Structure 1
Amino acid sequence: MTQAAKGQVFEIKDMRAPVLDEAQKAALAAASQASLDFSSAAIMGAAKAQTSLDDFGALDFVERLDLWCECVDEDEFLSPVGRAGLWTMFVRYAADRLRVEDICKRHPEILDIEIDRPIIVAGPPRSGTTHLLGLLSADKRLRSLPWWEAIAPVPTAEDEPSPDDPNPRWTKAEAGWQQQEAVLPMMNYMHEFSPDHISEDIELQALDFSSYLLEWLALVPRWRDYYLSHDQSGTYAYLKKGLQVLTFLKGPNRWVIKCPQHMEQLPVLNKTFPDATFVITHRDPVGSIRSTLSMWLYASRVLRTKSDPEEPKGYWIDRYKTLLSRCVKDRDCLPEDQTIDVYFHQWIKDPDPILQRIYDMAEIPLDEATLKTLHQYHKDHDPAVKGKVRFNLEGDFGITAEDIRQHFQFYFDRFPVEVEVR
Structure 2
Amino acid sequence: MNDRPAPIRIDDLAEPELPAEIVEMMEQTAPMAEQIELSPEAVLGAATAQTGLHDFGSDEFRAPLEVLCAALDTESDLSPMGRVSSFSQLAAFAANRLRVEQYIKDHPEALEVPIDRPIVIAGLPRTGTTHLHNLMSADPALRSLPWWEAMEPVPPPEEAGTTEGRIERAKAGLAVLHTALPHYDRMHEMTWDHVHEEIHLLGIDFSTMLFDCMAPMPTWRSYYQSHDQTPHYRYLKRLLQVLTHQRPPRERWVLKSPQHLEQIGPLMNVFGDATVVFTHRDPVSITASFATMICYSARMSAAHPVDTHRIGQWWGQLIEDMLRSCTNDRDLVPPEQSIDVLFHEFMADDVATVERIYRLADQPFDSGVKAAMDDYMADHPRGRHGRVIYDLADFGMDPAERRRALSFYTDRFAVELEH
| Residue correspondences, number | 414
Partner of 2:249: 252
1:316 aligns with 2:315: yes
Summarize deviations over 1:375-413 as a string: whole Å, max 9, x none: 23234333432222222333x234443232221011012
1:264 aligns with 2:289: no
Secondary structure (helix, strand or coil) at the match of 1:280 reads: strand
Shift of 1:296: 2.2
Partner of 2:294: 296
Secondary structure (helix, strand or coil) at the match of 2:354 reads: helix
Shift of 1:108: 1.8
User: TM-score, with normalisation over the residues of structure 1?
Assistant: 0.94
Q: Distance in 2 between matches of 1:376 and 1:69?
A: 44
Q: Distance in 2 between matches of 1:105 and 1:120?
A: 29
Paired amino acid for 1:122? A
Shift of 1:5: 8.3
Partner of 2:362: 363
Q: Which runs of 4+ in 1 moved over 4 A?
A: none
Q: Any gaps of 5 or more consecutive residues in structure 1?
A: none
* Contact in 2 for aligned 1:96/1:152 (Cα 8 Å): yes
Partner of 1:152: 152
Shift of 1:76: 5.3
1:114 aligns with 2:114: yes
- Alignment counterpart, residue 189 of structure 1, candidates 186, 190, 194: 186
Q: Distance in 2 between matches of 1:403 and 1:115?
A: 43
- What are the equivalent positions in structure 2 for 1:378-389 lying under 5 Å apart? 378-389=377-388
Secondary structure (helix, strand or coil) at the match of 1:37 reads: coil
User: TM-score, with normalisation over the residues of structure 2?
Assistant: 0.94
The alignment yields a C-alpha RMSD, in angstroms, of 1.8
Partner of 1:329: 328
Q: Distance in 1 between matches of 2:13 and 2:3?
A: 20
Secondary structure (helix, strand or coil) at the match of 1:198 reads: coil
Secondary structure (helix, strand or coil) at the match of 1:208 reads: coil
Paired amino acid for 2:308? P
Aligned-pair identity (%): 41
Q: Distance in 2 between matches of 1:275 and 1:364?
A: 13
Shift of 1:291: 1.1
1:218 aligns with 2:223: no
* Contact in 1 for aligned 2:64/2:207 (Cα 8 Å): yes
Q: Distance in 2 between matches of 1:378 and 1:264?
A: 31
Q: Distance in 2 between matches of 1:147 and 1:203?
A: 9
Partner of 1:28: 26
Shift of 1:51: 1.1
Shift of 1:155: 1.6
Q: Distance in 2 between matches of 1:10 and 1:314?
A: 22
Secondary structure (helix, strand or coil) at the match of 1:36 reads: coil
Partner of 2:86: 86
Paired amino acid for 1:194? T
Q: Distance in 2 between matches of 1:239 and 1:76?
A: 26
Secondary structure (helix, strand or coil) at the match of 1:384 reads: coil
Secondary structure (helix, strand or coil) at the match of 2:298 reads: helix
Secondary structure (helix, strand or coil) at the match of 2:340 reads: strand
* Contact in 1 for aligned 2:128/2:343 (Cα 8 Å): yes
Paired amino acid for 1:317? G
Partner of 2:389: 390
- Alignment counterpart, residue 285 of structure 2, candidates 281, 284, 287: 287
Secondary structure (helix, strand or coil) at the match of 2:341 reads: strand
1:97 aligns with 2:83: no
Paired amino acid for 2:296? Y
Paired amino acid for 1:200? E
